[in-house]
A = this chain, B = another copy of it.
Amino acid sequence: MTKRYKITMAYDGTKFAGFQSQPNQRTVQSVLEAAINKMSKLPDKINLYGSGRTDAGVHAYGQVAHFDFPHEMPAQAMLRGLNSMLPLDIEIVDCEIVPETFHARYEAHAKRYLYRVSRSWFIDPFKRLYTGHYKYPLDVELIKTALPDVVGTHDYSSFVASGSQTKSHVRTIYEATVREDLANDELIFEFCGNGFLYNQVRIMVATLLEIGNQRRPVHDFLRLYEVKDRNQARETAPASGLYLKEVYYGDEIQAQIAKSEVPGEKFN
Contact = CB atoms under 8 A, between A and B. Distances in A.
Interface of A: 10-12, 59, 83, 88-91, 93, 122-126, 128, 130
A12 B124 CA distance: 9
B59 A91 contact: no
14 contacts: A10-B125, A10-B126, A11-B125, A12-B125, A12-B128, A59-B126, A88-B125, A88-B128, A89-B125, A89-B128, A91-B122, A91-B124, A91-B125, A126-B130
A59 B128 CA distance: 14
A29 to B, nearest CB: 16
Nearest to A9: B125
A83 B125 CA distance: 11
A268 to B, nearest CB: 39
Contact of A10 (B88, B90, B91, B124): B124
Nearest to A88: B128
Nearest to A130: B126
A122 B91 CA distance: 8
Copies of this chain per assembly: 2
A12 B14 CA distance: 14
Contacts of A125: 10-12, 88-91
A8 B136 CA distance: 24
Contacts of A59: 126
Nearest to A90: B125
Nearest to A133: B88
Contacts of A10: 124-126
Given A12-B126, A88-B125, 6 more contacts: A12-B125, A59-B126, A88-B123, A89-B125, A93-B122, A126-B130
Contacts of A89: 125, 128
A129 to B, nearest CB: 8
Contacts of A130: 126
A10 B126 CA distance: 9
A90 B122 CA distance: 11
B12 A83 contact: no
A93 B125 CA distance: 11
